[in-house]
């Protein structure tokens, strides 16, 4: 983590500059304008580039543990996408996405797909295919491992399909760099408030935290 | 009647091998005790090998030349596949004979009546352009001839006259100066004619008919009459089979997927020609890889909606093939289907973007299912059941809208409830008793709670009221 580490950081920073430049050059000449889905939280929208979940980007989500609201966070946007005639896919989810709960969150199940890929290669391939397909508005993937190069591939696929890629990663990944446009570390406190640490956010300041109050679980508990 | 003749001078080679090889390759045949070259690929021609050359001579020129044995059955299958493909351009297709003799091995032909198709395709030039574009993709070498008689069209194709001749008078004038060696006759006949100075078709036609008949046989006179339109030339037309079944025999065993893709690509293109001819599509088709010492490998390629795109068929078949372990090399490939269905996209309003989008969706889902397995891609639906594990099921996403009312449920469900050791009693909220199922033997009596962990995670847990044990069943994620 000395000289070579610093070199990697510089070169990846340069790569990112180039990508940004390329994106600027493409702007207006190619492809549809990005769509933005409000996250459902005003505080979060305020820090996200474009004011919400922006199509054509990869968002990395790094929850500290299962069951802290890592899926609920996306539900308002996913519900909206399925109501605008676009589809949502979950690739290799760790558990069964429970249909009665999805319905309660307003998802149209006829626009919802589960892809049970096993190997890391199949998961990334399926994510790339669905992101690239214009019929999908959002793709959620749980890859067992993912490298920078693969994040870039997904990024290109998301741009081509004008869709949003949500990639769930282990919290350890927050310490590494990644070309993803938005990187969020998720943790909850003892009463269930979800705290979102902005690890990286293109065009916004990283290092901020946004809190989202617990919703369903505690609401029904009262 | 106006006939378009497609001659296939390289069929003996191309029926066995459709990829372009850089290695000098020839097809040979044994006649009596002499082995001769029937056809050469371009690499062989470049070093000076020629059709009809003695194979011993060919070996002397290029010792490492690859020699394949001519196989008439492979040529017949290839010609039949081409005939079904050609049906998309014409309702009247005639198959030529495959001659076993060396001299006529390169004259195999196929005819399409195009007089009736001209208007359909928007004129002569468009029809030919369209046909040549499609024919080029099949990677056959071909020559075209157009004339009002079958033999006239074939003669023009063989001699490479790329002019459409539409009247018998123009045909007679056009072939007058053609050498008799081009005629579709036993080779000794033109040889004898040339020795007596009858070198051109015009001179031969002018000979007294009874003399020709006496010397060469009456069928030669009949041939000349059919050629020049003086006599009718009735032949059986090719009938499109009700089911599709095509076979491609390989010259050598093919061992890897890449090598199999060449014949597969050609077969799928021919198949799509057939589908166009029938004006239909398919939702599934079957590939059978024939092995020498093992049971054939059968791959059924399914699509989410009827289609007739050879590119999409190839992508799906390739995906399946790459994930199939073939027991050994393949000596032949068969493609068949007996169910046809009209591609939906072709008939719904083409301007509607929704159709295009759903087609793309179907294609993406098909590809993923082809790679991961059909059961690995699915939707979910809610089911009106009290037992949580039964209140959802797999479903095809397309066709349902649900308005079921459920109490609060967690977004993640565990596939099986997981036994929990409860040390001390955490604070529990959201109590809900679920009792159900006594009527079908699967009864449950559970008290569900939400338990909050130190990390702030919300667990969906229950106490089994029958034995007091605790289980984890989901996460409020």
Which residue has 């699967």 as its token pair? B442
Query: Are B377 and A116 in contact (CB < 8 Å)?
Result: yes
Residues of B in contact with A64 (CB under 8 A): 455
pLDDT at B475 over 50: yes
pLDDT at B438: 61
Same-domain pairing of B286 and B170: no
**Interface test mutation site (partner B, options A67, A87, A125, max chain B beta carbons within 10 A):** A67
Min Cα separation A93/chain B (Å): 9
In terms of CATH, what superfamily is A34-221? P-loop containing nucleotide triphosphate hydrolases (3.40.50.300)
pLDDT at A193 over 80: yes
Same-domain pairing of B254 and B152: no
Min Cα separation A115/chain B (Å): 5
Mean pLDDT of B57-76: 92
Q: Which CATH number does the domain housing residue B218 bear?
A: 3.30.70.270
ipTM: 0.84
| Chain B residue whose CA is closest to A119 | B372
Top-confidence residue, B441 or B212: B212
What's CA B244's distance to the chain center, in Å? 10
pLDDT at B344: 60
Rounded to whole angstroms, the Cα distance separating B71 from B333 reads 16
Rounded to whole angstroms, the Cα distance separating A19 from A180 reads 11
| Chain B residue whose CA is closest to A83 | B401
Rounded to whole angstroms, the Cα distance separating B394 from A109 reads 11
Query: Are A129 and B367 in contact (CB < 8 Å)?
Result: yes
Question: How many CB atoms are located within 10 Å of the residue A83 CB?
Answer: 12
pLDDT at A202: 74
Beta-bridged to residue B412, according to DSSP, are: A97, B475
Query: Left, alpha or beta for B110 (phi > 0: left; psi -120 to 50: alpha)?
Result: beta
Query: Are B382 and A117 in contact (CB < 8 Å)?
Result: no
pLDDT at A203 over 60: yes
Min Cα separation B187/chain A (Å): 59
Strands of B143-147's sheet in order across: B93-95, B109-113, B3-7, B143-147
- Specify whether the CB–CB gap between B147 and B156 falls below 8 A: yes
Query: Left, alpha or beta for A163 (phi > 0: left; psi -120 to 50: alpha)?
Result: beta
Mean pLDDT of B300-327: 88
- Specify whether the CB–CB gap between A186 and A64 falls below 8 A: yes
pLDDT at A20: 61
- Specify whether the CB–CB gap between B185 and B176 falls below 8 A: no
Phi then psi for B410, rounded to 5 degrees? -75, 155
Q: What is the DSSP letter of B157?
A: H
Residues with Cβ within 8 Å of residue A207, at least 6 apart in sequence: A197, A198
What's CA B396's distance to the chain center, in Å? 29
pLDDT at B390: 85
Q: Does some domain include residue B60?
A: no
**Average pLDDT value over all residues in chain A:** 84
Most distant CA pair in chain A, distance? 55
**Average pLDDT value over all residues in chain B:** 86
Rounded to whole angstroms, the Cα distance separating A82 from B411 reads 17
pLDDT at A79: 95
Same-domain pairing of B200 and B80: yes
Same-domain pairing of B269 and B334: yes
Top-confidence residue, A18 or B3: B3
Structure tokens at B13: 């080679």
Output Rg (C-alpha) for chain B, integer angstroms. Answer: 34
Residues with Cβ within 8 Å of residue B25, at least 6 apart in sequence: B13, B17, B40, B41, B43, B44, B65, B66, B67, B68
- Specify whether the CB–CB gap between B110 and B82 falls below 8 A: yes
Tell me the pLDDT band of A34, cut-offs 50, 70 and 90.
confident
Query: Are B450 and A72 in contact (CB < 8 Å)?
Result: no
pLDDT at B94: 94
Q: What is the DSSP letter of B397?
A: G
Query: Left, alpha or beta for B328 (phi > 0: left; psi -120 to 50: alpha)?
Result: beta
- Which of A126, A94, A133, A91 is CA-nearest to residue A112? A91
Same-domain pairing of B272 and B149: no
Structure tokens at B277: 């001819």
Beta-bridged to residue A169, according to DSSP, are: none
Phi then psi for A52, rounded to 5 degrees? 165, -165
Give the domain-ending residue among B228, B252, B284. Answer: B228
pLDDT at B436: 76
Structure tokens at B63: 């010792």
pLDDT at B392 over 80: yes
Top-confidence residue, B187 or B49: B49
Rounded to whole angstroms, the Cα distance separating B83 from B74 reads 14
Rounded to whole angstroms, the Cα distance separating B227 from B471 reads 89
pLDDT at B40: 93
pLDDT at B421 over 90: no
Q: Is A18 exposed, middle or buried (0-12, 13-18, 19+ CB in 10 A)?
A: exposed
Same-domain pairing of B91 and B168: yes
Residues of B in contact with A103 (CB under 8 A): 382, 402, 404, 406
Tell me the pLDDT band of A12, cut-offs 50, 70 and 90.
low
Mean pLDDT of A144-170: 93
Min Cα separation B398/chain A (Å): 5
pLDDT at A5: 44
Question: Per residue in B136-164, pLDDT tens?
Answer: 888 889 999 999 999 999 999 999 887 88
Same-domain pairing of B173 and B317: no
Min Cα separation B319/chain A (Å): 12
Rounded to whole angstroms, the Cα distance separating B179 from B157 reads 14
Min Cα separation A3/chain B (Å): 37
Most confident of A201-210, B182-191, B418-427: B182-191
pLDDT at A4 over 60: no
pLDDT at A18 over 50: yes
**Interface test mutation site (partner A, options B353, B368, B430, B448, max chain A beta carbons within 10 A):** B368
Give the domain-ending residue among B324, B344, B372. Answer: B372
Same-domain pairing of B365 and B421: no
Rounded to whole angstroms, the Cα distance separating B42 from A66 reads 64
Q: Which of A140-149, A199-208, B223-232, B377-386 has the lowest mean pLDDT?
A: A199-208
Same-domain pairing of B214 and B269: no
Min Cα separation B284/chain A (Å): 22
Residues of B in contact with A139 (CB under 8 A): none
Q: What is the DSSP letter of B341?
A: B
Q: Does some domain include residue B50?
A: no
Nearest to A116 among B371, B376, B399 (CB): B376
User: What is the domain partition of chain A in residue ranges?
Assistant: 34-221
Q: Which CATH number does the domain housing residue B360 bear?
A: 3.30.1490.100
pLDDT at A29 over 70: no
Question: Per residue in B250-285, pLDDT tens?
Answer: 888 898 888 899 899 999 999 998 888 777 888 889
Beta-bridged to residue A31, according to DSSP, are: none
Question: Per residue in B192-235, pLDDT tens?
Answer: 999 999 999 999 999 998 899 999 999 999 999 999 999 999 88
Nearest to B376 among A96, A112, A115 (CB): A115
Q: Does some domain include residue B340?
A: yes
Helix (H, G, I), strand (E, B) or coil at B400: coil
Nearest to A115 among B357, B368, B477 (CB): B368
Min Cα separation A11/chain B (Å): 35
Q: Does some domain include residue B57?
A: no
Q: Is B142 exposed, middle or buried (0-12, 13-18, 19+ CB in 10 A)?
A: buried
| Chain B residue whose CA is closest to A134 | B357
Transcribe B248-296 into DSSP letters: EEEEEEE-SHHHHHHHHHHHHHHHHHHHHHHT-BEEEEEEEEEESSSPP
Residues with Cβ within 8 Å of residue B173, at least 6 apart in sequence: none
Query: Are B415 and A95 in contact (CB < 8 Å)?
Result: yes
Nearest to A104 among B371, B408, B429 (CB): B408
Q: Does some domain include residue B107?
A: yes
Q: Which domain holds residue B182?
A: 3-16+71-228
Rounded to whole angstroms, the Cα distance separating B308 from B6 reads 25
Tell me the pLDDT band of B474, cut-offs 50, 70 and 90.
very high
Alpha helices in B72-208 (DSSP H): 72-86, 124-137, 150-159, 168-175, 188-195, 201-206
- Specify whether the CB–CB gap between A214 and A193 falls below 8 A: yes
Q: What's the structural domain count of chain B?
A: 3
Same-domain pairing of B100 and B224: yes
pLDDT at B297 over 90: yes
Residues of B in contact with A116 (CB under 8 A): 372, 376-377
Question: Per residue in A50-104, pLDDT tens?
Answer: 889 999 999 999 999 999 999 999 999 999 999 988 999 999 999 999 999 999 9
Residues of B in contact with A129 (CB under 8 A): 364, 367-368
Give the number of beta-carbon pairs within 8 Å between A and B.
190
Top-confidence residue, A218 or B101: B101
Rounded to whole angstroms, the Cα distance separating B13 from B21 reads 11
Residues of B in contact with A76 (CB under 8 A): none
pLDDT at A1: 39
Query: Are A66 and B450 in contact (CB < 8 Å)?
Result: no
């Amino acid at each position: 983590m000395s000289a070579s580490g610093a070199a990697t950081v510089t070169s990846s920073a340069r790569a990112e500059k180039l990508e940004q430049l390329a994106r600027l050059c493409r702007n207006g000449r190619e492809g549809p304008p990005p769509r933005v889905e409000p996250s459902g939280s005003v505080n979060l929208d305020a820090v996200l580039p474009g004011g919400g979940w922006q199509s054509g980007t990869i968002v990395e989500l790094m929850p500290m543990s299962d069951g802290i609201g890592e899926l609920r966070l996306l539900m308002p946007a996913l519900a909206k996408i399925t109501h605008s005639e676009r589809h949502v896919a979950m690739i290799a989810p760790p558990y069964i996405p429970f249909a009665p709960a999805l319905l309660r969150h307003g998802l149209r199940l006829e626009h919802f797909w589960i892809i049970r890929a096993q190997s890391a290669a199949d998961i990334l391939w399926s994510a790339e295919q669905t992101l690239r397909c214009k019929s999908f508005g959002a793709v959620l993937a749980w890859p067992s491992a993912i490298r920078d190069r693969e994040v870039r591939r997904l990024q290109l696929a998301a741009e081509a399909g004008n869709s949003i890629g949500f990639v769930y990663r282990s919290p350890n990944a927050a310490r590494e760099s990644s070309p993803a446009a938005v990187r969020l570390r998720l943790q909850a406190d003892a009463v269930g408030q979800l705290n979102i640490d902005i690890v990286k956010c293109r065009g916004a300041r990283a290092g901020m935290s946004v809190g989202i109050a617990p919703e369903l679980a505690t609401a029904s508990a009262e | 009647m106006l006939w378009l003749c497609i001659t296939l001078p390289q069929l003996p080679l191309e029926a066995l091998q459709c990829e372009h090889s850089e290695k000098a390759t020839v097809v040979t045949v044994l006649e009596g005790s002499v082995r001769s070259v029937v056809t050469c690929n371009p690499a062989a021609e470049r070093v000076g090998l020629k059709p009809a050359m003695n194979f011993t001579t060919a070996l002397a020129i290029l010792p490492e030349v690859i020699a394949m044995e001519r196989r008439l059955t492979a040529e017949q299958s290839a010609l039949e596949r081409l005939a079904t493909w050609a049906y998309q351009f014409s309702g009247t297709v005639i198959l030529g004979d495959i001659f076993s003799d060396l001299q006529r091995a390169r004259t195999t032909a196929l005819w399409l009546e195009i007089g009736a198709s001209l208007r359909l395709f928007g004129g002569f030039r468009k029809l030919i352009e369209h046909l040549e574009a499609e024919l080029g993709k099949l990677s056959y070498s071909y020559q075209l001839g157009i004339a009002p008689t079958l033999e006239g069209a074939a003669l023009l194709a063989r001699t490479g006259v790329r002019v459409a001749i539409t009247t018998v008078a123009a045909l007679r004038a056009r072939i007058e100066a053609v050498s008799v060696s081009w005629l579709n006759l036993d080779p000794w006949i033109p040889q004898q004619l040339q020795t007596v100075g009858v070198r051109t078709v015009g001179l031969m036609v002018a000979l007294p008919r009874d003399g020709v008949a006496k010397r060469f046989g009456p069928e030669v006179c009949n041939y000349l009459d059919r050629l020049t339109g003086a006599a009718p030339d009735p032949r059986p037309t090719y009938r499109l089979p009700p089911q599709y079944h095509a076979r491609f025999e390989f010259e050598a065993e093919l061992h890897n997927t890449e090598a199999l893709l060449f014949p597969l690509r050609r077969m799928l293109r021919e198949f799509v020609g057939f589908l166009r001819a029938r004006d239909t599509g398919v939702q599934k088709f079957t590939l059978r890889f024939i092995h020498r010492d093992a049971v054939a490998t059968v791959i059924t390629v399914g699509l989410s909606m009827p289609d007739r795109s050879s590119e999409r068929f190839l992508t799906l078949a390739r995906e399946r093939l790459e994930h199939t372990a073939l027991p050994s090399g393949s000596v032949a490939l068969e493609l068949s289907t007996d169910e046809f269905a009209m591609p939906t996209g072709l008939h719904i309003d083409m301007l509607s973007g929704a159709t295009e989008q759903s087609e793309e969706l179907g294609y993406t889902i098909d590809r993923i299912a082809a790679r991961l397995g059909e059961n690995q891609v699915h939707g979910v639906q809610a089911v009106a059941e009290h037992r949580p594990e039964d209140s959802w099921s797999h479903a095809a996403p397309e066709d349902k809208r649900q308005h079921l009312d459920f109490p609060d449920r967690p977004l993640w469900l565990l596939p099986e409830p997981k036994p929990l050791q409860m040390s001390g009693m955490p604070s529990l909220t959201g109590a809900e008793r679920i009792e159900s199922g006594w009527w079908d033997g699967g009864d449950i009596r559970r008290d569900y709670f939400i338990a909050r962990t130190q990390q702030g995670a919300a667990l969906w847990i229950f106490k089994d009221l029958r034995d007091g044990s605790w289980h984890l069943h989901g996460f409020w994620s």
